[in-house]
Amino acid sequence: MASMKLTDLSSSTRTRLLPISRNPLLRGKQALIWHRRLVTPPNLSSRRTLTLSSSPSPSAIVTASLSTETSAKIIDGKAVAKTIREEIAAEVSRMKDAIGVVPGLAVIIVGDRKDSATYVRNKRKACESVGFKSCEVRLVEDSTEQQVLQHISEFNADPSVHGILVQLPLPSHMNEQNVLDAISIEKDVDGFHPLNIGGLAMRGREPLFVPCTPKGCIELLHRYNISIKGKRAVVIGRSNIVGMPAALLLQQEDATVSIIHSRTPNPEEFTKQADIIIAAVGKPNMVKGSWIKPGAVIIDVGINPVEDAESTRGYKLVGDVCFDEASKIASAITPVPGGVGPMTIAMLLSNTLAAAKRTYNFE
């Protein structure tokens, strides 16, 4: 296996190659591909060298110069998600040509929360971009739980629907557990069914689906060739949606994992030892630079609005990690926005494609 070194020598250029990675959507020799797309990430420091694996070929030196005020490499989730969508679109086209079927995703949204409506709209656009069939059910806030369960039952029985997503949170009068448990495990593309979480937690078992946000976090580490095995990892937050499955995924990758939460005293004592930090606690700028070990990799899941008088919206979005401080200490970090967020939808598409392939035994 040849290798490739990417060396930054000055501050005159703003483009770079995405890391070479293995495409999980393809098979055999096709699976190892180049991501030659030039992207414009936030700034990197000068004179940083990365070693990247490639398919067998003479080794080469590619020089890219990047101006910066920070030392951390920016993990560009938006660019990676775009690459993944292109890979999925190619597989959808291949599937349609071979068996005349395209993946189908059904979304149920209850109420009129603006953030939920935005997420659903983005998911619909993403489906269209890769050639999926998509359908939505919009219910008013005071709809009954039984109405939601009825739509789930209909989608469970519909062979053209391969994935079902119920947009969370649900109104307080509904039992979220009952609703999520009603989704067929074969169509649980959000990965929240107890059997999928159980498969994720048990050694030697494989869930049909992994929850999208934590799956996207790990995929970013893979796509940037960031080693996980043997590393110390800290997950901040223990939610069923992100924190807990993220910790399980890191453990599967042979990291030594600690979870810190609201009852953890002196959390910085844990984060200072971490090679990898996944922050998913929903508190703006909670993780300070002083909490971070030099050279650590930071995956920031938080998306928090904070007041910003200079913004036309009156607010800006920030993560759980203080980016300005952390980017001077970490070796790599995800921005907010543009980091984990786009990957969540990309992983939803990936799970839905996998569900459709599994239904028709298509490889």
* The residue type at 363: E
Check whether the bond before 265 is cis (ω within 30° of 0). no
Q: State the catalytic residue, choosing from 8, 73, 76, 123.
A: 123
C-alpha dist (Å) from residue 128 to 24, 106, 108, 119, 344: 21, 13, 17, 14, 16
73-74 and 332-333 strand pairing: parallel
Residues 52/6, Cβ–Cβ less than 8 Å:
yes
C-alpha dist (Å) from residue 73 to 13, 43, 66: 15, 8, 10
Q: Is 123 a catalytic residue?
A: yes
Q: Is 146 a catalytic residue?
A: no
C-alpha dist (Å) from residue 162 to 9, 194, 304: 49, 19, 32
Q: Is 252 a catalytic residue?
A: no
Check whether the bond before 305 is cis (ω within 30° of 0). no
Residue 161 and residue 353: Cα distance in Å, rounded? Answer: 11
Retrieve residue 300's tokens: 């920031």
Within a 10 A sphere around the Cβ of 88, how many other Cβ atoms? 22
Residues 213/184, Cβ–Cβ less than 8 Å:
no
Residue 135 and residue 133: Cα distance in Å, rounded? Answer: 7
C-alpha dist (Å) from residue 243 to 56, 154, 231, 237, 341: 38, 31, 18, 5, 15
The label of the residue with tokens 């994992």 reads 257
Q: How many CA atoms lie within 13 A of 249 on its CB side?
A: 27
Q: State the catalytic residue, choosing from 8, 73, 167, 275.
A: 167
In angstroms, the first-to-last Cα distance of the chain is 26
Q: State the catalytic residue, choosing from 8, 190, 275, 300.
A: 190
Residue 66 and residue 253: Cα distance in Å, rounded? Answer: 32
Residue 157 and residue 331: Cα distance in Å, rounded? Answer: 48
User: Which residues, 6 or more positions from 44, have their beta carbon under 8 angstroms from its beta carbon?
Assistant: 8, 16, 66, 68, 70, 72, 73, 74
**Catalytically active residues, by annotation:** 123, 167, 190
